[in-house]
Amino acid sequence: MDKLIDYFLGFPSSPNISESELHKQIQNHLSLLNRTPAATLAYQHAGTDVLALLDPSVNSLAYLYVLVARIDLGQKNAMEVAWRQIVTFLETFNPKQVRCAQDIFKRLVDSFFSFVTESGKPIIAIRPIKKAILRFNPTKFSFLHPLFLRLCLEAKCYRDAAAIVDIDLVEFPCISTGKVTENTRVREITYQDVLTYFLYAGMIYMGIKEWRRAADYLTYAIVAPGNACSQIQIDAYKKYILVGLLLDGKSLPIPRSTTSVANRAYKALSKPYESFAAAFKAGNPELLRTEVTQLVDVFRQDNNTGLAIQCLEAFRRMQIIALRDTYVTLSTEEISKKDLEVTGRGGDIGGKEGTEAVILGMIEREEISASLSHSHPDPEQSQTTVHFHNHPADESCNLAALQVELRRIMTLNKQMKSINKKYGMSREFIQHMVKVAKMSGSSVLAGMAEPDLMDFDYSFGWAEDEPEETIMQDFEDDM
């Protein structure tokens, strides 16, 4: 055992070695670890703890194997002891090493995950897993993503989750490439994982009331490709309608890229939501109230009650915002006469004072630019008037937002280029091109002139300095 520990500590041989050398060492190391029986690994050395000797950031693989062996062999209470070490490990491990032992790593995370959920303390896992995700390439989807969001939803730590979901995914682990080494035993990522991730991400943003981003993530789930429609997608679509109401006051359209199967399923299965949205958009409180009484059960069944209640609360606010376009001044009495209160909570909130309070809140949150004025010092006789200001000329604000957007699009463009290049060199595409060339004989161009699926509203200069030459060379190499 001492020898083993020495060996563990002797890896990697030095902190600065070349990539290929490191890879070789990792492979050797792994084969040794895989050979070593779990009992040996889990053995508690007299007096000294193996894990205390190992540094998780340097000897990550050994640390990982020992941890897993202990959990596997230990009883229920093994976790009680080990979880602190798992946390340390997750916060400091070396991603290069761990990437080669994905299956073991996943086992560790899975047992950790079930431990924290069973013990009802999901919150302790959030920080370490978040760090773990950031340690790997956070733009690449991994099995950690949906797990993490689930934890966050359970612990209601939406802010923590937002740090991860703010990063846009650009990559998914490739299932079809032959690059996977002996670690193929790892359960592959399925479309369900991805869809749940999108749904959860949408829900996280709903939690922090970022409706726009929530809608974006739900859209990803809605337009997911395929030849069937998943229940997850349908749930996403139902939420999408409600989020649309909160965002825009009307239901957002189904994106055009949606598959026809899914499209049909959405239309068939979310009728109640559509009619709710129609009533909401019509701006008729009476209609909305009758809709709501009919739909209470539907919302409860789909677990969307909270969202629906928020819609109803938003209804009055949106109607008041809409008044801005019609009136310069209006008394609160007039507004409360419009009877916009639809949450059905009763009490005074629908009355004059309630309306005034709502408007005051809206002004404070800068949802609307307006001011209130009382006509008389005595509140009994006073008439409160709302004065809607003109749209403020927030030029600097707009310009700053434009700058941010510009940067985002530039990043996107870069990502797009790298993907473009990667796919351009992929075997499938080249095979396709060869096939097209053969089929159409000399006129390759005809094959290329297919209508673009990517029907952006306007074209963007992708191709200023496209490295076609490099692609060509690679292509020749490939042959």
Q: What is the Cα–Cα distance from 246 to 367, expressed in whole angstroms?
A: 13
381 lies in the site for another protein, by CB under 8 A: no
- Residue 7 or 327: the one with the smaller Cβ distance to another protein is 327
Cβ atoms < 10 Å from Cβ of 335: 22
Please identify, among the stretches 142-150, 291-299, 350-358, 471-479, the one whose residues bind another protein according to the rule CB under 8 A: 471-479
- Residue 156 or 423: the one with the smaller Cβ distance to another protein is 423
Q: How many residues does the chain have?
A: 479
Q: Which of 9, 81, 208, 328 binds another protein (CB under 8 A)?
A: 328
- Residue 174 or 296: the one with the smaller Cβ distance to another protein is 174
**Helix or strand (DSSP H, E) at 386:** strand 384-388
398 lies in the site for another protein, by CB under 8 A: yes
233 lies in the site for another protein, by CB under 8 A: yes
- Residue 378 or 452: the one with the smaller Cβ distance to another protein is 452
Q: What is the Cα–Cα distance from 25 to 439, expressed in whole angstroms?
A: 48
Please identify, among the stretches 69-77, 143-151, 293-301, 322-330, the one whose residues bind another protein according to the rule CB under 8 A: 322-330
- Written as six digits, the tokens of 329 are 């001044």
- Residue 60 or 332: the one with the smaller Cβ distance to another protein is 332
- Please report how close the Cβ of residue 252 comes to another protein at its closest, in angstroms: 11
- Residue 70 or 106: the one with the smaller Cβ distance to another protein is 106
366 lies in the site for another protein, by CB under 8 A: no
Please identify, among the stretches 54-62, 76-84, 114-122, 410-418, the one whose residues bind another protein according to the rule CB under 8 A: 410-418
**Helix or strand (DSSP H, E) at 373:** strand 370-374
| 85 SS3 class | helix
Amino acid in position 433: M
Q: What is the Cα–Cα distance from 433 to 401, expressed in whole angstroms?
A: 42
Considering only residues 34 to 93 of the shown chain, the ones binding another protein according to CB under 8 A are: none
Burial of 52 (0-12, 13-18, 19+ CB in 10 A): exposed
Considering only residues 411 to 440 of the shown chain, the ones binding another protein according to CB under 8 A are: 412, 415-416, 419-420, 423-424, 426, 428-429, 432-434, 437
357 lies in the site for another protein, by CB under 8 A: no
Amino acid in position 454: M
Q: Which of 20, 175, 184, 346 binds another protein (CB under 8 A)?
A: 175
Q: Which residues of 188-209 are buried (b: 16+ CB within 10 A; e: fewer)?
A: ebeeebbbbbbbbbbbbbbbee
- Please report how close the Cβ of residue 124 comes to another protein at its closest, in angstroms: 31
- Residue 114 or 190: the one with the smaller Cβ distance to another protein is 190
Asked whether 232 and 199 are in contact (CB, 8 A), the reply is: yes
Considering only residues 202 to 221 of the shown chain, the ones binding another protein according to CB under 8 A are: 216, 219-220
179 lies in the site for another protein, by CB under 8 A: no
In 3D, which of 286, 289, 410, 269 has the Cα closest to residue 338? 286
Burial of 275 (0-12, 13-18, 19+ CB in 10 A): middle
459 lies in the site for another protein, by CB under 8 A: yes
Mark residue 145 as left, alpha or beta (left: phi above 0; alpha: psi -120 to 50; beta: remaining): alpha
406 lies in the site for another protein, by CB under 8 A: yes
178 lies in the site for another protein, by CB under 8 A: no
- Please report how close the Cβ of residue 137 comes to another protein at its closest, in angstroms: 14
Q: What is the Cα–Cα distance from 201 to 218, expressed in whole angstroms?
A: 8
Say which residues have a Cβ less than 8 Å from residue 416's Cβ, sequence separation at least 6.
Answer: 462
Please identify, among the stretches 26-34, 201-209, 299-307, 325-333, the one whose residues bind another protein according to the rule CB under 8 A: 325-333
234 lies in the site for another protein, by CB under 8 A: no
- Written as six digits, the tokens of 10 are 């002797």
191 lies in the site for another protein, by CB under 8 A: yes
C-alpha 401, offset from chain centre: 22
Q: Which of 108, 330, 342, 370 binds another protein (CB under 8 A)?
A: 330
- Residue 45 or 352: the one with the smaller Cβ distance to another protein is 352
- Residue 46 or 449: the one with the smaller Cβ distance to another protein is 449
373 phi and psi, to 5 degrees? Answer: -140, 140
168 lies in the site for another protein, by CB under 8 A: yes
**Helix or strand (DSSP H, E) at 432:** helix 427-440
Q: Which of 58, 61, 262, 342 binds another protein (CB under 8 A)?
A: 262
